[in-house]
Structure 1
Amino acid sequence: MTGPRTPWPGVPATEESAPPQRAPADDTALRERLTEAVHACDAPDVVFAVSRRGRRTLYAGGTAPPPAVPREDLRYEIGSASKTFAALLLTRLIRRGVLTGSEPAAGCLDPGRTPGPHPVTLAHLITHTSGLPALPAGFLRRGLPAWHTNPYARYPAERLTDTFLRHEPKHRPGTRWHYSNYGVSVLGHALAATTGTAWEDLITGQVLRALGLSGTALRAEGPESDAVGHRKDGRTPVPPFDAGGFQAAGAVRSTPNDLLTFLEAHLDPDRSPAAGALRAVRVPVLRRGLGHRHVHTVGWFRHPTDGGPMYFHSGATLGQQAFLGFRPDTDTALAAVCTRRFRARDAFIATAYALLADG
C-alpha cells in the first residue's frame, strides 16, 4: 500500500485528462433506465436521481404505498457516504491553514499528551490507514441489546474517545488500509476539539451552508421530513438511525436533490466557495491491493472507466441505503437512496454502480 501524501490539498488535481465529451444522452432513454433501476430494487421507497451536464432527472417508486410527502422530497439516511462530507470538511480546514492533516489525533483530544514515535494522524483517520479496527473495543457487547434498533446509540462520544486514547492501534499507522467507522468517528471528535466547535455545527457551517444544502442535517425531524427505514425483509420498520459517538462516520441524512447539489459541486468546483477543497478531494492519495489497483482519494473510491475515472461511495444504516457517485468525463452525478437494508448481493448497489459506470 502506498500511504497518503500529507497535506494532500497541496497536490495539484491535474492527473485527469479531459477526454472528448460524449453527446448528450436522450432524456427518454435515461428515464427508462432510471425506471428499470427503481423496479430492480425491492424496497418500500426508492429514488434514483441523475444530473447530467446540469440537467436533473429523478425517478421514484417502491413497493409501499406512496408516502404523504413525495419520496424525492424526503431526507434519507446515507450512512457511510457521510464520510465524503467529513473528508471535504477536513480538506477545507487544511486549505484554510487551520490544520495540516499531520496532527496526532490523540494530541487534539488530549492537548497535554506527548505523541509517541508513530502517532495516528488526522490524515490516517480519514484515509483508513490509522491501524484501527472497524469498530472500537467493547462495541459489540454494548450494542448487542439494541442490535436490531440502534446499537451505535449505546456507544457515546466519551466512551469512543476514551477507548481511542487508552488503546494502541492494531497496526502501525500508515502501513495498512482497513476501512474503519471507528477511525473516521475519532477524526470528527478530534476536529471538534481542535476547533472548539461541536461536530454538527462544524459540518453545518463548513459544508452544508457553504454548498447550499438546506435539506441536509444530522438529526431526524419526523415522518414529515424523513424517510422511514426497514429491515432486510422490506416490511419491518426500524427507528431513525442514532449515530451515538459515530456522527462523522454516518450521521448525514439528505434529500436526493441536495445530494445532487453536493455531487454537482464536485463536478464543477469553480462555482463553489469550497472550490479548492472540492478539487483536492478528487486527487488520488493512496493505492492498495494487488498491483496497487485500488485507488482512493481523501473521501472517495476511484475506479477507471473507458472515458476517465468515476468516484463513488455507498452507505447503509439499519434500515436504509445510499449510493453517491460522479464522473467528470461525462459531467454526470448519481444519487440513489432506498428504505431497506439489503443483503450484500442484492440489487441496489450493483444497479446504482452500473448506471454510473455506463455513463
Structure 2
Amino acid sequence: MTDRPTNWPGDPADDEHATPPAPGPADEAALDDRLAGAVDVSDAPDVVFAVSRHGRRALHSGGTAPPPAVPREDLRYEIGSASKTFTGLLLTRLIHDGVLTGGEPAVACLDPARPAGPDPVTLAHLITHTSGLPGLPAGFLRLALPAWRTNPYARYPADRLTGTFLRHGPKHRPGTRWHYSNYGVSVLGHAVEAVTGTAWEDLLTRQVLHPFGLSGTALRAADGKTDATGHRKDGRTPVPAFDAGGFQAAGAVRSTPHDLLAFLEAHLDPAGSPAAGALRAVRVPVLRRGLGHRHVHTVAWFRHPTDGGPMYFHSGATLGQQAFLGFRPDTGTALAAVCTRRFRARDPFMTTAYAFLAGE
C-alpha cells in the first residue's frame, strides 16, 4: 500500500539548506576527464554530458557518428519520460497558485456531467502513479504495432486516450498501489487542459518554459538543423522524430542540454526563481514504498540516498534517443545527459549517467 503525507505538495525539503563546498581547479580538471570518459562509454551516434556545479557549467559532446552541422550541445534532444519532471512542476505550480488542489477527480475535469464515484482517480493519483491505471491504455498495442519501429504513440491520439479512460475504470482502487503509468500521466495532462481551458503546450510555456527562460525547449520537432536525429539499436539507422500523440504530458518534451541544465539549476537554487515554492515542493517525498520504504518518490522525481544526501533523478527514452536528468543539493551538482541511440540490452548510457551523478 502506498503512503502519502497529508501535506502534499508539501513543505520545503529536508535538504534545502545544504551548503556544499565550491570546486577547485583540480576538481574541474577531473570533471573534464570524467565527462569525456562518460561520452566515450555511452557508445551512441551523438552524446552530450552536461554538468553544472554551483552554477558553473561544463559540457562534453561526442559520438560514433560524424559531427553534425550544428554543435551537438546546441541541438534539441527527445527526453521521453523525463518530460514528467516538467509535468510535475507544472501541476505543482498550479496548486501553489490556487488554480488546482490536486484532489480534483480526473473524470470530473474531463466530463463535468459525469459522477466521479466513491473512489475517484484524482490528479494527485495520476502524477504519483497510484491511479490504479495500467502502464498503457487498452487497445494501444493493437493500434501501435504497425508503427512500432517508427511512431507507435502517434497512432493513439488524445480523444482516444481520454475516451478510453472515461469508459474503463482503474484496475485497482486509487491510492493503494504504485504502478508506473505513461497512460496515467497523459490523462493528467488532458484533465488539466480541460479544467483550465488551456492547451497543454500553452500551459507548459506559461508555467515552465517562459519563467525559466527555456527558449530551446518544445513539444515537437522543427527540422534537422534544430533537432537531433535518433537511431535504432544498431546505432546507424535513423528513425523519425518522436510524435507523442495523446501522450504529450508523459513524454513529448525535447530540449537542448543548456536548457535542461537551466531547468535543473532552478531546482538546486529555488530562492531566485519565480516558482520558488513549487520548486521546493517537488523535492518533498510524497510516496514511500517497498521493503523498509526504500523507494522514495516526489511529485516529479525519483529520490535515492547517497552518502551526502538525497539524489533526485528521472530518465527517459523514445524510439531513438535517451535522456537522464538529475541533481544533488548536497554537492550543488546537476547533470543532463542525452544520446541518440535507442535503449538496448545492457545499454551503458543510463548506468553511466546514474553512476556519474551518484559519484559526485
**How far apart are residue 346 of structure 1 and its match?**
1.2
**How far apart are residue 345 of structure 1 and its match?**
2.2
SS for the counterpart of 2:68 is: coil
Q: Aligned pair in 2 of structure 1 residues 20, 92: CA closer, same or farther (>3 Å)? A: closer
Partner of 1:16: 15
CA deviation string 1:283-339 (max 9, x = no partner): 000101111100000010000000000000000000000000000000000000000
Question: Structure 1: how far apart are the matches of 2:16 and 2:215?
Answer: 33
**How far apart are residue 113 of structure 1 and its match?**
1.1
Aligned pairs (5 A) from 1:185-200? 185-200=186-201
CA contact (8 A) 1:7 1:100 kept: no
Question: Structure 2: how far apart are the matches of 1:287 and 1:217?
Answer: 32
Partner of 1:171: 172
**How far apart are residue 45 of structure 1 and its match?**
0.1
Partner of 2:257: 256
Question: Structure 1: how far apart are the matches of 2:14 and 2:46?
Answer: 39
CA contact (8 A) 1:6 1:123 kept: no
**How far apart are residue 16 of structure 1 and its match?**
2.3
Question: Structure 1: how far apart are the matches of 2:266 and 2:192?
Answer: 23
User: Which amino acid letter does the alignment assign opposite residue 234 of structure 2?
Assistant: D
User: Which amino acid letter does the alignment assign opposite residue 41 of structure 2?
Assistant: A
Question: Structure 1: how far apart are the matches of 2:141 and 2:125?
Answer: 24
Aligned pairs (5 A) from 1:65-104? 65-104=66-105
SS for the counterpart of 1:29 is: helix
CA contact (8 A) 1:265 1:278 kept: yes
Say if 2:339 is the partner of 1:338. Answer: yes
**How far apart are residue 18 of structure 1 and its match?**
4.5
Partner of 1:313: 314
Question: Structure 2: how far apart are the matches of 1:315 and 1:62?
Answer: 19
Question: Structure 1: how far apart are the matches of 2:217 and 2:117?
Answer: 39
CA contact (8 A) 1:7 1:102 kept: no
CA deviation string 1:37-91 (max 9, x = no partner): 0000110000000000110000000000000000000000000000000000000
Q: Aligned pair in 2 of structure 1 residues 321, 119: CA closer, same or farther (>3 Å)? A: same
CA contact (8 A) 1:6 1:101 kept: no
Say if 2:5 is the partner of 1:2. Answer: no
Question: Structure 2: how far apart are the matches of 1:48 and 1:290?
Answer: 33
**How far apart are residue 165 of structure 1 and its match?**
0.4
Say if 2:242 is the partner of 1:268. Answer: no
CA contact (8 A) 2:214 2:259 kept: yes
Unaligned stretches of 5+ in structure 2? none
**How far apart are residue 231 of structure 1 and its match?**
0.6
CA contact (8 A) 1:7 1:94 kept: no
Partner of 1:295: 296
CA deviation string 1:166-187 (max 9, x = no partner): 0010110000000000000000
Question: Structure 2: how far apart are the matches of 1:7 and 1:202?
Answer: 25
Question: Structure 2: how far apart are the matches of 1:114 and 1:246?
Answer: 25
CA contact (8 A) 1:6 1:102 kept: no
CA deviation string 1:188-232 (max 9, x = no partner): 000000100011111111110111100000010010100000011
CA contact (8 A) 2:16 2:329 kept: no
SS for the counterpart of 1:8 is: coil
Partner of 1:203: 204
Unaligned stretches of 5+ in structure 1? none
CA contact (8 A) 2:22 2:54 kept: no
User: Which amino acid letter does the alignment assign opposite residue 259 of structure 2?
Assistant: D
CA contact (8 A) 1:3 1:129 kept: no
Partner of 1:53: 54
Partner of 1:247: 248
**How far apart are residue 354 of structure 1 and its match?**
0.6
Aligned pairs (5 A) from 1:149-164? 149-164=150-165
Question: Structure 1: how far apart are the matches of 2:78 and 2:208?
Answer: 17
Question: Structure 1: how far apart are the matches of 2:35 and 2:255?
Answer: 20
Say if 2:129 is the partner of 1:128. Answer: yes
Partner of 2:39: 38
Q: Aligned pair in 2 of structure 1 residues 215, 19: CA closer, same or farther (>3 Å)? A: closer
Say if 2:143 is the partner of 1:142. Answer: yes
Q: Tell me the TM-score normalized by structure 1.
A: 0.98
SS for the counterpart of 2:172 is: coil
User: Which amino acid letter does the alignment assign opposite residue 325 of structure 1?
Assistant: G
Cα RMSD (Å) of the superposition?
1.1
User: Which amino acid letter does the alignment assign opposite residue 4 of structure 2?
Assistant: P
Question: Structure 2: how far apart are the matches of 1:168 and 1:109?
Answer: 14
Question: Structure 2: how far apart are the matches of 1:295 and 1:96?
Answer: 26
Question: Structure 2: how far apart are the matches of 1:262 and 1:65?
Answer: 29
User: Which amino acid letter does the alignment assign opposite residue 272 of structure 1?
Assistant: S
SS for the counterpart of 2:210 is: helix
Question: Structure 2: how far apart are the matches of 1:313 and 1:182?
Answer: 17
